[in-house]
């Protein structure tokens, strides 16, 4: 199993997204989002290569992958290295992913 290591910005994104869903949909929705986001991280740890490489190809970052958060319009963006999954961001579909991730590189 591969460890998922969240960069500080990914941690901040998780807090912000959870707060957003709690504010907009109530505590139950916030809790469901948090659980689904955590489950997606577990999926990354179990099968890091399963995330879609499409956005990485568009950003000219061939190792960048995305794993969707089930039931929500966002996903985890990460790089797979031999020792871990380097999780850089948690972005909503409404955000300009190409502009945000254009300069993204693995740590």
Q: What is the pLDDT of residue 87?
A: 97
In a domain, 106, yes or no: no
The ranges of the chain with pLDDT < 70 are 102-107
Token pair, residue 102, equals: 């254009």
Q: What is the structure's pLDDT at 104?
A: 61
> Would you state the pLDDT for residue 105?
61
Mind listing the pLDDT tens digit for each residue in 25-52? 999 999 999 999 999 999 999 999 999 9
Q: So what's the pLDDT on residue 61? A: 83
Number of domains forming the structure of the chain: 1
pTM above 0.75, yes or no: yes
Instruction: State the first-to-last Cα distance of the chain, in angstroms, to the nearest integer.
Output: 20
Least Cα distance to 72 among 47, 87, 94 occurs for 94
What's 28's domain CATH number?
3.30.2310.20
Please indicate, yes or no, if residue 107 is contained in any of the structural domains.
Answer: no
Residue 7 neighbours by CB under 8 Å, 6+ apart: 86, 87, 88, 89, 107
């Amino acid at each position: 199993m591969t460890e998922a290591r969240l960069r500080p910005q990914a941690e901040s994104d998780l807090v912000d997204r959870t707060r957003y869903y709690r504010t907009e949909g109530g505590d139950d929705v916030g809790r469901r989002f948090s659980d689904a986001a955590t489950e997606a991280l577990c999926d990354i740890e179990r099968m890091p290569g399963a995330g879609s490489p499409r956005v990485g190809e568009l950003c000219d970052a061939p190792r960048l992958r995305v794993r969707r958060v089930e039931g929500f319009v966002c996903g985890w963006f990460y790089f797979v290295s031999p020792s871990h999954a380097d999780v850089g961001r948690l972005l909503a579909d409404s955000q300009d992913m190409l502009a945000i991730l254009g300069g993204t590189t693995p740590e």
